[in-house]
Amino acid sequence: MKSVCVFCGSNVGRDAAYLEAAITAGEVIARSGLAIVYGGGRIGLMGAVADAALAAGGRVVGVMPRALFEREIAHSGLSELRVVETMHERKQTMANLADGFLALPGGAGTLEELFEQWTWAQLGIHAKPCGLLNVKDYFQPLLVLIAG
């Protein structure tokens, strides 16, 4: 099964549109027959994407470092939850499982995950697409920066 790795916030953000977009993204990905790979959390936009995909009959694979799992923020209803030792292992595992990457609104962690996969694509480490769901122009400053 093809899969999309979704990067997004562990909080819902300041605008209800972010939560709505996360729910819609989870539903659309699942209904398209694609699995979701993500960070494994039950909270924030991450949890909303996972819950929506699961409710739509989709497969959702979470990848979470043991330290976060032990803080009890892991989603307990996933199709599969892989517990790894480090954040580096988490990102590598998600990259290995994914056929493409999609970033929704999020913070520093979301941007770091996106930039790593974008950089890997530029370096030829993989040829997987990287995309942004630009909810209410959330990523517009980044797009302006990239455009130079």
Domains along the sequence of the chain with CATH: 3-147 (3.40.50.450)
Yes or no: say if 8 and 41 are a contact pair by the CB < 8 Å rule.
no
> What predicted TM-score, i.e. pTM, was given to this entire model?
0.95
Spatial separation of the C-alpha atoms in residues 22 and 20, rounded to whole Å: 5
pLDDT of residue 46: 96
pLDDT of residue 148: 85
Spatial separation of the C-alpha atoms in residues 128 and 37, rounded to whole Å: 14
pLDDT of residue 72: 74
C-alpha dihedral, 45 to 46 to 47 to 49, nearest 10°: 80
Alpha helices in 32-139 (DSSP H): 44-55, 66-70, 87-97, 108-122
pLDDT of residue 127: 97
pLDDT of residue 81: 97
pLDDT in 10s for each residue of the chain, 148 residues: 799 999 999 999 999 999 999 999 999 999 999 999 999 999 999 999 999 999 999 999 999 999 988 887 899 999 999 999 999 999 999 999 999 999 999 999 999 999 999 999 999 999 999 999 999 999 999 999 999 8
Longest dimension (CA), the chain: 43
CA 2 to chain centre: 15
